């Protein structure tokens, strides 16, 4: 569920037409207009920050043991192309700066894909924390949602159970089953509202491709998505107040939300990291497939990120990269 890039960094969030008109009523209206303009600016900035955070979560890499600095810090840029939301036939481009922070503690681990608290870990099982996010949708720039309320960005957090299945004969990949269950909340950083829950079981394959010790890694993840009624209602329902001749009223139920396949590749140089992803969504037989807001059953998402390491710790630890 996403969107992307209309003219570089300024494009992260479509322009909203809120803000103060001058009025003959006097200073009260002027002050009210100033307040609306200020809250609009804060809201826009908040949504841009959330949009950037959402995209960072898409870049994941394979694990590889060795000696690494305790922490690394830097900065980079990312660019992506996404549909406005899963099932939309319109898409946008985004470009934005991203932080680069890696911390390899015993309990807390921060890497390019997620902040992890390793609550339970063994040779076969990990119990972790799962995070995800989705950027906002401006209905004024989407033909299908025109006249409907904008969609604020959503954040997701919840437990993640990882079952390690060992190595596969498929190019020596590491195989695992991941079972994340996340609560979904909508926010623009001025409010927070719980939307529902998402369950995204998936099988993952990770390849450390180091024939020449170039630190190249690749990954593949595939699995269904299940949303409760609240999440599907947020994205796919049409209330009678916003129904039109071409957009009839519709109530989205909870349940199966389609199938997703994600591929990633990354390469680490001495002071530079590069990553890219390609994701494919299939919404056939999703419970909201007949929503008038669903215009296509397939969608592709893609993006890249490049980061430069500015400083590293002098302390070395044994960890997985």
Q: Count CB atoms within 10 A of the CB of residue 2.
A: 28
- pLDDT tens across 151-196, in order? 999 999 999 999 999 876 666 678 999 999 999 999 988 889 999 9
- Distance, in Å, from the CA atom of 204 to the CA atom of 113, rounded to the nearest integer, reads 15
Most distant CA atoms of the chain, gap in Å: 76
Which candidate, 272, 280, 278, places its Cα nearest to that of 309? Answer: 272
Which candidate, 65, 250, 225, places its Cα nearest to that of 148? Answer: 250
pLDDT at 216: 82
Which two structure tokens, joined as six digits, stand for 75? Answer: 């900065």
Q: What is the average pLDDT value for the chain, to the nearest integer?
A: 79
| Secondary structure of residue 274 in the 3-state scheme | strand
pTM of the model: 0.74
Q: Around 114, how many Cα atoms within 13 Å sit in the side-chain half-sphere?
A: 18
How would you label 208-226 residue by residue, b for 16+ Cβ within 10 Å and e otherwise?
A: bbeeeeebbbbbbbebebb
Residue 47 has pLDDT above 90, yes or no: no
Total length of the chain: 321
Which domains are seen in the chain, by residue range? 30-320 (2.40.230)
Residue 9 has pLDDT above 80, yes or no: no
Which candidate, 89, 96, 102, 119, places its Cα nearest to that of 61? Answer: 102
- Distance, in Å, from the CA atom of 158 to the CA atom of 281, rounded to the nearest integer, reads 22
- pLDDT tens across 253-307, in order? 999 999 999 999 998 888 898 999 999 999 999 999 999 999 999 999 999 999 9
- Distance, in Å, from the CA atom of 51 to the CA atom of 4, rounded to the nearest integer, reads 9
- Distance, in Å, from the CA atom of 66 to the CA atom of 73, rounded to the nearest integer, reads 19
pLDDT at 109: 61
| Secondary structure of residue 278 in the 3-state scheme | strand
- Distance, in Å, from the CA atom of 258 to the CA atom of 4, rounded to the nearest integer, reads 21
Burial of residue 184 (CB within 10 Å: 0-12, 13-18, 19+) is buried
- Distance, in Å, from the CA atom of 258 to the CA atom of 189, rounded to the nearest integer, reads 29
Q: How far is CA 35 from CA 45, 73, 187, 303, in A?
A: 15, 37, 20, 37
pLDDT at 130: 87
Q: How confident is the model at residue 19 (pLDDT cuts 50, 70, 90)?
A: very low
Q: How far is CA 124 from CA 130, 165, 177, in A?
A: 18, 7, 11
- pLDDT tens across 89-123, in order? 999 898 989 888 888 776 666 665 555 555 566 77
**HEC profile for 227-267?**
ECHHHHHHHHCECHHHCCCCCCCECCCCEEEEEEEEEEEEE
């Amino acid at each position: 569920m996403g969107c992307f890039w209309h003219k570089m960094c300024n494009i992260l969030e479509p322009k909203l037409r809120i803000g103060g008109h001058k009025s003959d009523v006097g200073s009260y209206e002027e002050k009210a207009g100033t307040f609306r303009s200020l809250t609009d600016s804060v809201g826009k900035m908040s949504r841009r920050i959330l949009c950037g955070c959402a995209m960072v979560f898409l870049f994941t890499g394979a694990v590889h043991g060795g000696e690494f600095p305790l922490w690394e810090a830097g900065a980079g840029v990312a660019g992506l192309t996404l549909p406005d939301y899963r099932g939309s036939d319109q898409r946008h481009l985004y470009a934005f700066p991203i932080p680069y922070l890696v911390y390899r503690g015993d309990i807390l681990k921060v890497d390019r894909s997620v902040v992890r608290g390793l609550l339970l870990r063994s040779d076969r099982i990990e119990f972790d924390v799962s995070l995800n996010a989705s950027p906002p949708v401006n209905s004024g720039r989407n033909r299908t949602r025109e006249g409907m309320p904008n969609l604020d960005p959503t954040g997701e957090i919840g437990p993640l159970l990882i079952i390690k299945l060992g190595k596969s004969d498929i190019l020596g990949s590491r195989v695992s089953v991941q079972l994340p269950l996340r609560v979904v909340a909508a926010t623009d950083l001025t409010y927070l509202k719980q939307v529902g829950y998402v369950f995204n079981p998936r099988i993952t394959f990770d390849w450390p491709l180091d024939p020449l010790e170039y630190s190249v890694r690749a990954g593949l993840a595939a699995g269904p998505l299940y949303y409760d009624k609240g999440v599907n209602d947020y994205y796919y329902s049409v209330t009678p107040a916003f129904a039109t001749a071409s957009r009839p009223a519709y109530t989205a139920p909870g349940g199966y939300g389609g199938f997703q396949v994600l591929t990633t590749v990354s390469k680490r140089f001495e002071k530079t990291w590069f990553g890219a992803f390609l994701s494919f969504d299939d919404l056939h037989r999703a419970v909201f497939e007949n929503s008038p807001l669903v215009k296509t059953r397939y969608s592709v998402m893609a993006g890249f990120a490049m980061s430069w390491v500015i400083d590293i710790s002098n302390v070395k630890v044994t960890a997985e990269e």
